[in-house]
Amino acid sequence: MTIKNRLQYANSPYLKQHENNPVDWYEWGNEALDKAINNNKPIIVSIGYSACHWCHVMAHESFEDNSVAEYMNKHFVCIKVDREERPDIDNVYMDAAHLTTGRGGWPLNAFALPDGKPFYAATYFPKENWLALMQQIIDIYKNTPDNIVDQANELAKGITATNIIETPENISANRSKGHYRSLFDTYSKSIDFTNGGFDSTPKFPLPIGIEFLLQYQYYTNNTKALLGAETALTKMAAGGIYDHIGGGFCRYSTDNIWKVPHFEKMLYDNAQLISLYAKMYQVTGNNEYLNTVEQTTKFFETEMLSRDGMFFSSLDADTEGTEGKFYIWKKSKLTGFMEPEHTNVICRYFNITEEGNWEHGNNVLHAYDSISQFTEKNNLDKDIFKQAIDKFREKVYSARNRRTKPGVDDKIITSWNALTIKAYTDAYKATTKPEYLDTALKCALFIKQNMLNSNGELKRIYKDGKITVNAFLDDYANIVDAFISLYEVTFDQEWIDSAFTITEYSIKHFYSKKSGLFYFTSDNDKEIVTRKQDITDNVVPGSNSVMANNLFKLSYIYKNNNYYNMAMRMLAIVENTIVNGGAYYANWAILLGNAAFTPIEISIIGKDANEMRNNIMQIYSPGLIFTGGVTENVPSLKDKSVTNKTAAYICYNNSCSKPLFSTQDIMTELSRLL
């Protein structure tokens, strides 16, 4: 009989993956820290997430091994952390890893003093290396403990210095159009115009970096920026990082051509990519981008949607102990799903070979071109080829569903669901399909009714009826962004009111007047070494850049100069870094663009406001801000109602047009300004 450890009582699916380990794991909390202090034992903080392949590898090699577990239990207090549940803890120990080893990633394994202060951190270790490292640390801890204390204190100083930013209050940003235009000179150097995305191996999508390219093309008419975005989105949707059978994107490609993915699928990636492909469809009118939106939302609704209308966090990279097993195929199996007359061409398109295009004779379905590009290059009938591909996909999908499916991390994260709400509102803007709006509204209503207090305080995690963990700045920033978007596509006042309330709470509990930035953690939460202030954008936009964009937009909706000044001060703090930061400061660059070119406000009031807005919002225009409704529900609508008529006003640079009463008149006025 297997004896479960205390993680059997955890709420996190990742922690529960370790409930059968012989390691005496604790969750992060006072029980573990008190034991470490009372017994003068160092701490192991092991951090990962449920979809992480190398986390599974280390668990199997080390944490399931009785001899390893015996040593860990005897000499350490061992704490398991789900980095998705507690990013605040992960942030601190990840900083420690970067400072001590120069690299990060998961699994993340940190060693700390009994008070939790780290003195060493690194990533994956094979079993023998892990044992040797622990023995070395215990030897130093027992014989020269002052060395470890000194190391921990120095590391704490480094972590604090990395995360705390002090700026003068009178700092101001260069918001000129020329400054914005100059960004592309440096930015373009990191763009892979051949394979798409940004030069790196492994290669991550970095959606916000690509979104900047769309915005830049819009404001400057730079065709090279559009080419960079088109190449990235075309190559990703054709490549192995995209699931050609079930839809949705894997987290990253292990190479620089999008061929072989790391097979885990994350909610936050796919949500941002839905938004991005919807916007690219608005820009180009290319139905292949719309197909990617439709297939990815179908994947969401088939594999990630809870009964409550919320979305799960991730799908595992592994099935039955093998990475990618659910997704890979032998050629002999795949050809059985093809019509004989199309076998050769489908194999060529997806690069399916007898010897396999990946490991052990297996094939990852991947292409180098879109269907349009492939059929044009090979002089094929596009419609016939697409029909053959669709039939092939249906048969493979049916067969694949009989396989053991990847595990689902079914916890609900507020921040990631906020990105998903935004994804569906962006899909709705591009298509006006009501089912997209319905999905966004159902998810948002659940958060509003279950995760949000009336004073604007949020919770982060929902699972099996339990609501846990105080929300972090990414939860607040992304839900405000999502609620603003919902207001713009519904003109329902409850969403903009909630966005305002949450913003006010965020300012009260997260904002530093001294630095002009927001902390990642609330002042109600216990500090771990230091309170982090993140300013970089990464696989998700940084919480400070999202909040700055929120404040900027709300300053126009509410005519709130304080919000505008806060946003511009935040922009000024990172202004010099934006120039050389590339995709890792892309959301700040987007804010700079909207500030430099000044937003265009479209205020529509009257009983037909929604219909009039829907006729306009399908155009891609990153500088548009919509307000409206039947009544004057926000300050920007004040004194704009017209008796018995639906009227629109186009406002730009503190000047508004006369009332406009038709879509044609609105488009004419917009064309003058755009």
CATH classification at residue 631: 3.40.30
Cross-sheet strand order for the sheet of 265-266:
265-266, 314-315, 408-409
381 lies in the same domain as 491? no
10 lies in the same domain as 120? yes
143 lies in the same domain as 41? yes
515 occurs within a structural domain: yes
**Domain termination site, one of 112, 132, 163:** 163
170 occurs within a structural domain: no
33 lies in the same domain as 98? yes
pTM summary value: 0.96
E-assigned strand segments in 194-264 = 252-253, 261-262
609 occurs within a structural domain: yes
370 occurs within a structural domain: yes
**Left, alpha or beta for 417 (phi > 0: left; psi -120 to 50: alpha)?**
alpha
Token pair 């298509």 in the structure block, residue: 431
Task: Residue 529: give its domain's CATH number.
Answer: 1.50.10.10
122 lies in the same domain as 211? no
CA 109 to CA 126: how far, in whole Å? Answer: 12
445 lies in the same domain as 503? yes
Query: Does residue 520 contact residue 472 with C-beta atoms inside 8 Å?
Result: yes
Amino acid code (one letter) for 423: A
pLDDT at residue 654, rounded to an integer = 86
pLDDT at residue 640, rounded to an integer = 87
386: phi then psi, degrees, rounded to nearest 5: -65, -40
Condensed to tens digits (0 to 9), the pLDDT of residues 384-400 reads 999 999 999 999 999 99
434 occurs within a structural domain: yes
76 C-beta neighbours (distance < 10 Å), count: 22
Q: Cis bond leading into 42, ω under 30°?
A: no
- CA-closest candidate to residue 485, choices 538, 451, 444, 456: 444
584 lies in the same domain as 609? no
246 lies in the same domain as 188? yes
378 lies in the same domain as 310? no
SS (H, E, C) 419-466: HHHHHHHHHHHHHCCHHHHHHHHHHHHHHHHHCECCCCCEEEEEECCE
84 lies in the same domain as 149? yes
**Domain termination site, one of 133, 163, 193:** 163
Condensed to tens digits (0 to 9), the pLDDT of residues 528-564 reads 888 889 899 999 999 999 999 999 999 999 999 999 9
186 occurs within a structural domain: yes
Q: What SS3 state is found at 211? A: helix
523 lies in the same domain as 652? no
Task: Residue 117: give its domain's CATH number.
Answer: 3.40.30.10
Condensed to tens digits (0 to 9), the pLDDT of residues 11-59 reads 999 999 999 999 999 999 999 999 999 999 999 999 999 989 899 999 9
Q: What SS3 state is found at 297? A: helix
1 occurs within a structural domain: no
168 occurs within a structural domain: no
Expressed as residue numbers, the domain containing 246 is 177-326+408-597
35 C-beta neighbours (distance < 10 Å), count: 15
- Residue-wise DSSP of 370-425: -HHHHHHHTT--HHHHHHHHHHHHHHHHHHHTTSPPPPEE--EEHHHHHHHHHHHH
**Domain termination site, one of 368, 400, 432:** 400
Domain count, the chain: 4
The DSSP 8-state label assigned to residue 61 in this structure reads I
Tokens of residue 359, six digits:
């490991």
pLDDT at residue 213, rounded to an integer = 98
The residue ranges of the chain whose pLDDT is under 50 are: none
515 C-beta neighbours (distance < 10 Å), count: 18
572 lies in the same domain as 506? yes
Condensed to tens digits (0 to 9), the pLDDT of residues 255-274 reads 999 999 999 999 999 999 99
